[in-house]
A and B are shown apart, each in its own frame.
Chain A
Amino acid sequence: MDLKIGIVEDDKRIREGMAILINGSEGFSCNDIFESAEDAIKQLPKLNLDVVLMDIHLPLKTGIECIEELVPICANTQFIMFTSFEDTELVFKALKAGANGYLTKTTQPSKILDALLEVHKGGSPMSSHIARKIVSSFHTTETNSELKKLSEREKEILNLLSKGYRYKEIADQLFLSTETVRTHIRNIYEKLQVNSRTEAINKAYKK
């Protein structure tokens, strides 16, 4: 059973190239490609895809707005932000909106496929920038209460991440397996998204 991948990307060359790359790889299939957020919002809920690669800069609605709407109604779909390169602020927003990870467009093709697989398995990549962003957001009033309820272990992991430690190093330092570190990070993502998700659900039901 192949992983069903969707792409939301306004650049024709990239989305087609990406589709060729994915379709050419074993265990992946990509038949659903969208040029805009609007198209994706229309079509995606019916498709029940495994992972969607989402560009941030789209013509009308942004990729972030798009996943805000899709995450609550696509329970089985994971979203990965696919950006030109890492913009901490935007990535942080996307993660809060419900994205499970992000990739830069300079990522090597093999690593893109790895990331798709990892996210599907429940892992969530997090750079030190994002970790620092989350840590510093503890101090702002906007931060949702769920995020403030992070466990000690989660805080520990976040702290190490913010200092530039990698997953493997964290796992060694805390005597955990790398998988456990990944799970903790996934939980941090969940808590990060609670607010926006609730808001999105409320919005959806109102409609």
Chain B
Amino acid sequence: MKLATSQHNLLYQLNGYNGIANAYETLANFDSAKYFHQKSYEIAKLMKAPAKMALTLFNIAICYKQLGEYKNALNQYLLAYQLLEREPSYNPRVHFYIGEMYMRLGNYKDAEYQSRLGIGKCILFNHDYVIHNLYINLAKCFQYDGKTDSAEVTLINTLQKLKKNTDKISVSICLHTLGDIYFDNKKFDKAYKCFIEELALEQEIHNENGIYLTYLNLGYTAAHQNPKNTSLVQSYLDKARNSFSVIQKNPDILIESNLKTAKTYELINKPAQALNYYKFYYALNDSLLNKEKLNQIVDIQTKYETEQKEQQIKSLKQSDLIKTLEIKSQGDTIRNRNLLMITVICFVLFLLVILYFYQQKQNIKKALEKELAIKKAEEKERVRMSKDIHDELGAKLSKINFLSELMAHEKNQNPHITETAETIAETSRQIVTNMRDLIWVLNPENLIAHMREYTSDYLEDFSNDVKLSFPDQPDNVPISNESHREILMTVKECLNNIVKHSQATAVKVTVTIDHKTLSIMIKDNGVGITLEKKAGNGLRNMKTRIESLNGEVHIRSSKEEGTLVVFNIPLHKIIKM
């Protein structure tokens, strides 16, 4: 149902297009007519109706024929033939059309074949009507092939058969053809008779083109019969010119008519008019040729352009491919470049960071170096001072000491002088020794070793029972100069007390160092510390010195057990930083 409806709609459309095309045909606008016929053909194609398709093709072919494009017309007819061949609506008339087109294109061999084929089909299908037209075509082919008699006979037979019918159009065509043939065979009288007869028929059927051409043929034939009968010829030409305005202006007709007119004028010795028509003829012919050439050129150009475009497309595709590859490679390059840039940036940042830390380190190093340099300068200054003291004061004190010793050593002199000299010697030696200790402070020494050596040396002549216990690795404890002096002075004071006041026979000195404390224990078996001694400067000085180092002093003393003095000094306070 739906299909039917759509088919129905299509049919309407087809009919609509057909109507428009026919209207354009009537208006002799064959281009537009052709366009709408082609539209109809598309619809017929959609309808899958071969008969209708063939019909529209016929219409298109007619348009081409009218436009003088016979080749295209032929193609349409051949297409239509293919469609119709096995259809019930087959009509041998198609062979007539095809033949006609072949003839127009000068291919008489194929035209003859088509005519014979058509005639055979007509006899087979009993198509009387078309058979005559085919005979006419066949006759034309005979004529072209030089078989003039056959052509004449064929046409006369056809004419007789046609005259039995009332088909005046066919008769007129037949007469027209026969006239042409008679004319070509220089049988001008017979030709003239044919054209006269035709003219009557053409007028009867109102075929304007036919009338026009017949007048021209009459004039031309008459001119050949008797060129001197100028008035008759001129009258035909005038009549032809009169009907010219109403004819359909088919280019072929125009060319042929102009040529015929020109030749006719030439025959009746009117060269001016002849020249005029020749001019028309050549102009038309040229334009037609030009048109053909133009068409050809357009075709070639189209072909060329198509090719060019194809090549362009091809090259475009290639360039696209290249571009894609380029883009890809560019992308790669960009990616690589980006990667490189990132790497470079990272590297630079890394360097900057390193540089920054290096600079920081350098700054710290510089600061430390500066501090160290200051310390060194200070140290140097101390050494210089100690040297000065040594060289000046020390030397002079030594001299005093030495000379007073000599004086005391002198025999046979006042004992009072000897005693005084001994006192001077003793005092000056003490000053020198104290100075030596001071200078040791300036020239740092190893406290433990120094302490041991001093103790050992000092107690050597005092007692045979001296026990010393010192740490084995004294070098490992770097003790600051100030602390060194305080500790050494304290120990000396302590030993001095033992030698001078204790009346001891045995002394034991023990020094220990652990990771926290320096501990010095000095024990004797003497009489102990008397009350008056406790209040003395000696002990107070010892306490002051040790306490200045955050240390502790413990003293245990009794008449029976002697004296034990213990110094405990925290290492962190006395260690050299």
Contacts and interface: CB of A to CB of B under 8 A. Distances in A.
Interface stretch (B345-353, B394-402, B539-547, B555-563): B394-402
A14 B446 contact: no
A17 B429 contact: no
Contacts of B403: 13-14, 17
A14 B402 contact: yes
Interface stretch (A35-43, A80-88, A192-200): A80-88
A104 B453 CA distance: 16
B409 interface: yes
A78 interface: no
B398 A104 contact: yes
Interface string B182-218: 0000000000000000000000000000000000000
B321 to A, nearest CB: 78
**Most chain A C-beta atoms within 10 Å of own C-beta, residue among B394, B398, B435, B456:** B398
Given A13-B403, A162-B449, A85 B456 contact: no
B474 A84 contact: no
B433 interface: yes
Interface string A116-133: 000000000001110010
**Most chain B C-beta atoms within 10 Å of own C-beta, residue among A84, A87, A104, A163:** A84
Given A105-B399, A166-B460, A169-B456, A85 B449 contact: no
A28 interface: no
A20 B406 contact: yes
Interface string A128-169: 110010000000000000000000000000000011111011
B406 A106 contact: no
Interface string A5-31: 000000101100110110010000000
B449 A109 contact: no
Contact of A84 (B398, B411, B452): B398
B48 interface: no
A85 B394 contact: yes
A85 B451 contact: no
Interface string A100-113: 00001110110000
A191 interface: no
**Most chain B C-beta atoms within 10 Å of own C-beta, residue among A18, A129, A164:** A164
B450 A164 contact: yes
Nearest to B402: A105
B432 interface: yes
A100 to B, nearest CB: 20
Nearest to A88: B443
Contacts of A165: 452-453, 456
A57 interface: yes
Contact of B449 (A18, A84, A106, A128): A128
Chain B interface size band reads 35 or more
A164 B470 contact: yes
Contact of B395 (A24, A84, A163): A84
A132 B474 CA distance: 11
B152 interface: no
Nearest to B445: A129
A57 B452 contact: no
Nearest to B459: A166
B39 interface: no
A78 to B, nearest CB: 21
A13 B402 CA distance: 10
Contacts of B222: none
Contacts of B460: 166, 168
B391 interface: yes
Interface in B24-81: none
Contacts of B448: 163-164
B48 to A, nearest CB: 118
Contacts of A21: 406, 409
Contacts of B455: 164
A11 B400 CA distance: 12
Contacts of B382: none
Contacts of B454: 164
Given A57-B395, A105-B399, A166-B453, A85 B390 contact: yes
Contacts of A105: 395, 398-399, 401-402
B112 interface: no
Contacts of B449: 128, 132, 162-164
Interface string B409-440: 10100000000000000001100110110000
Contacts of B452: 128, 163-165
Given A13-B399, A128-B450, A163 B456 contact: no
A128 B453 contact: yes
Interface string B455-473: 1110010000000101010
Contacts of A168: 460
Interface in B345-400: 390-391, 394-395, 398-399
B450 A108 contact: no
A171 to B, nearest CB: 13
A96 to B, nearest CB: 19
A20 B411 CA distance: 12
5 contacts: A17-B403, A88-B443, A104-B398, A165-B456, A166-B456
* Nearest 8 interchain pairs by C-beta: A164-B452, A164-B453, A105-B398, A164-B449, A128-B453, A84-B395, A17-B406, A84-B398
